[in-house]
Amino acid sequence: MTRYLLSRLMGMLVVMALVAVLVFVLTRAASGDPVTVLLGDQATAEDIARVQKEYGLDKPLPVQFGYWLKELSQGNLGQSIFLQRPVTQALWERAEPTTLLALLSLCIAAAIGVPCGIVSAVFRGKFIDQLLTGFAMLGASIPSFWFGLVLMQIFAVSMGWFPVSGYGDPGATLMARIHYLVLPSTVLGVLNSALIIRFTRASMLDVLGEDYVRTARAKGLSEKVVVLKHALRNALVPIVTVLGLTVALLIGGAVVTETVFGLPGVGNLVVSAVLRRDYPVIQGALLVIAMIYVVINFLTDLLYMVVDPRVKY
């Protein structure tokens, strides 16, 4: 167990170090220069040199990378060039909408995906199964920004049930802010339930063919108990895996959805940073998101032990 944990942690560190190199190389390979963007066309050569020096952009790349790593190890992601504040602060300010959006979407996706997958497996080959697998296929083919725009037109613009965009006043109550998140999280939740349906169905079908399910039926247990207790319990490991995967997909999906609905989240921050070539923000955001992904993967593996006591590391 301890050995497994240690080797997993080492693996995570290696991947994170590679992500750091990747992110650094990517952002520094960029053709656009943030300093000229920041200072505009009128800037003199001295101005540019001064600002470059201020942000350490005049040093050779390996030196810049060294500085960056040293700062990283102290939890410092650098200073945003445009927002006039540390990247960690900028990320932190934008964390709430994205976190809430991801959580709500995950709940919606799981609430649709798991029951639909079970029903689909139990009624395999029947009309309802074809309908649900068809929906699962469709969900994976709909662009989220398009679905968002359509829902926005129907439920916000025409019906007026929900706000069109934004996140309300800073001092608004949690419920008021969640009101702004209903449509975005519906978009992400519904579309991402597709994958969960497919995995749940596949996993349930595997289990429903097992001997112990037949035994449970043979000893006269009701179908409900057989499906929900005997089968589902054993089908949970792949389902937990796909839920972990969904979180990662939701973080990526949030980038697009936040832009559609004008939510001031991390995704929105990244897109505007990319448009303004604000390297420190891009680097920091990519790094933090990759870290969240790696940690979620790790937690998913640990969750297997809770879900299935037979799993031992």
Partner 1 sequence: MKIPLTLKKLFRRRIVLAAGICLLVVVLVALLANVITGYDPNETAVRERLSVPTASHLMGTDELGRDLFARIAFGGRYSLTIAALTAFGAIVFGTLFGLLAGFFRRLDAPIMRVVDAMMSLPDILLAIALVAILGPSMLNVVLALVLVYSPRVARVVRASTLVVRELLFVEAARAVGVSTGRILWRHILPNLMSPILVQASFIFAYAILAEAALSFLGVGVPPEIPTWGTMVAGSQQYAHEALWIVLFPGLAIILTALSLQLLGDGVRDLLDPRLKKSL
What is the Cα–Cα distance from 81 to 49, expressed in whole angstroms?
15
Q: Give the one residue of 14, 63, 176, 228 binding partner 1; rule: CB under 8 A.
A: 14
What is the Cα–Cα distance from 188 to 236, expressed in whole angstroms?
23
**Interacting residues of 138 by C-beta distance below 8 A, sequence separation 6+:** 194
Report the residue count for the chain: 313
**Spatial contact of 273 and 282, defined as CB atoms under 8 Å apart:** yes
Size of the site for partner 1 (CB under 8 A): 50
Q: Does 185 bind partner 1 (CB under 8 A)?
A: no
Q: Does 157 bind partner 1 (CB under 8 A)?
A: yes
Selected range binding partner 1 among 17-25, 94-102, 212-220, 226-234, rule: CB under 8 A: 17-25
Q: Give the one residue of 114, 119, 286, 303 binding partner 1; rule: CB under 8 A.
A: 286
What is the Cα–Cα distance from 44 to 42, expressed in whole angstroms?
6
**Spatial contact of 126 and 135, defined as CB atoms under 8 Å apart:** no
The footprint of partner 1 on residues 247-276 (CB under 8 A) is: 248-249, 251-253, 255-256, 259, 270-271, 274-275
User: Hey, how many other C-beta atoms are within 10 angstroms of the C-beta on 108?
Assistant: 20
Q: Least distance to partner 1 from the beta carbon of 201, Å?
A: 8
Question: What DSSP assignment string belongs to 44-96?
Answer: -HHHHHHHHHHTTTTS-HHHHHHHHHHHHHTT---B-TTTSSBHHHHHHHHHH
Beta carbon nearer to partner 1, 24 or 180: 24
Beta carbon nearer to partner 1, 14 or 176: 14
Q: Least distance to partner 1 from the beta carbon of 11, Å?
A: 8
Beta carbon nearer to partner 1, 29 or 175: 29
Residue ranges that bind partner 1, judged by CB under 8 A: 14-15, 18-19, 22-23, 26-27, 29-32, 137-138, 140-146, 149-150, 152-153, 157, 198, 202, 205-206, 248-249, 251-253, 255-256, 259, 270-271, 274-275, 277, 282, 286, 289-290, 293-294, 297
